[in-house]
Amino acid sequence: MQSTELKDFVVDKIDDLKAKDVVVLDVANQSHITDFMVICSGTSKTHVRAIAENMIVEAKTAGMQPLGVEGRDSSEWVLVDLGGVILHVMQQATREFYDLEKLWTDSDA
């Protein structure tokens, strides 16, 4: 699956579980490890965990093995690395604190 198709797949699957404030960043010109970052919020630790776990299950069902998963224990910020797309599922306070959108869209970065 190409990165653009994978991005669309990820956005579709997180939408299934009502992820909030979905943002897609094209970081292909800024990063050598991925082409897209998808950032979304969950309403609670349980919601964050459910979005990430669903993404893992859906990826495996589609024949893709995630390269890595981080943050499952705390579920404040769970990262799912799918190669061409890295999914960040965060609780709102954590998302506001780290402000990844600004970090990756800042022209001076």
Specify if 13 maps to a domain.
yes
Specify if 78 maps to a domain.
yes
The answer to whether the CB of 88 falls within 8 A of the CB of 40 is yes
Instruction: State the total domains in the chain.
Output: 1
Q: What is the CATH number of the domain that holds 52?
A: 3.30.460.10
Residue 64, both tokens: 């893709």
- Give this prediction's pTM: 0.93
Residue 57, both tokens: 């299950």
Q: State whether the Cα torsion 86-57-41-74 is positive or negative.
A: negative
pLDDT by position in tens, the chain (length 109): 788 999 999 999 999 999 999 999 999 999 899 999 999 999 999 999 999 999 999 999 999 999 999 999 999 999 999 999 999 999 999 999 999 998 888 654 4
Domain carrying residue 11: 3-102
Specify if 107 maps to a domain.
no
Specify if 28 maps to a domain.
yes
Find tokens 């780290």 and name the residue: 98
Residue 1, both tokens: 């699956």
Specify if 34 maps to a domain.
yes
Query: What is the Cα Rg of the chain in Å?
Result: 13
Specify if 108 maps to a domain.
no
Specify if 109 maps to a domain.
no
